[in-house]
């Protein structure tokens, strides 16, 4: 486990930041029981999970329905001291993050569902694994 008093949590819109966070999610959730149940084909789990996460990112962040936060820590905690010259840490790396759905005054509607369905189609979830995609739709209607 990594501990640092210099960790930062920041909102980001960078696609590069998303790719790093997404890979953290894939590594974290690939063997998680809920995703093993959802995506039962071991040979397709990483590919499906990556596409599923991209679809959710597009549906949320891409449609201004959510935000991406990243967790950054110094690349080398022993070297990441503040410099006197520019008063900021030298080098930070992303070690995780979260997608957050924006709070809404309206209840979830079919219109919201449509955004996700279109994103699932765009990222070809049904093509990657038809059975797992059908399971996804049954579990998260």
Q: Is the pLDDT of residue 28 over 90?
A: yes
107 belongs to a structural domain: yes
Q: Is the pLDDT of residue 108 over 50?
A: yes
67 belongs to a structural domain: yes
pLDDT in tens, 34-43: 999 999 999 9
Write the CA distances from 69 to 26, 27, 48, 94, 95, integer angstroms: 16, 18, 23, 10, 11
Domain containing residue 93: 8-136
Instruction: Provide the number of structural domains found in the chain.
Output: 1
2 belongs to a structural domain: no
Please tell me which residue, 106 or 83, carries the higher pLDDT value: 106
Phi, psi of 72 (to 5 degrees): -120, 145
16 belongs to a structural domain: yes
pLDDT given at position 3: 55
103 belongs to a structural domain: yes
- In angstroms, the CA 90 to CA 74 distance is 8
3 belongs to a structural domain: no
- In angstroms, the CA 28 to CA 103 distance is 26
pLDDT in tens, 55-100: 999 999 998 889 999 999 998 754 444 443 444 545 899 999 999 9
Element (H, E) at 134: helix 130-139
């Amino acid at each position: 486990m990594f501990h640092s008093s210099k960790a930062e949590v920041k909102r980001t819109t960078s696609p590069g930041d998303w790719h790093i966070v997404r890979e953290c999610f894939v590594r974290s959730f690939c063997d998680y029981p809920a995703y093993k149940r959802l995506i039962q084909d071991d040979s397709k789990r990483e590919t499906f999970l990556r596409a599923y996460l991209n679809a959710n990112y597009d549906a949320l962040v891409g449609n201004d329905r959510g935000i991406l936060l990243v967790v950054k820590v110094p690349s080398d905690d022993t070297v990441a001291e503040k410099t006197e010259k520019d008063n900021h840490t030298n080098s930070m790396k992303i070690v995780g993050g979260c997608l957050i759905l924006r709070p809404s005054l309206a209840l979830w509607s079919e219109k919201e569902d449509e955004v996700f369905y279109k994103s699932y189609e765009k990222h070809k979830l049904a093509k990657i694994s038809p059975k797992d995609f059908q399971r996804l739709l049954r579990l998260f209607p």
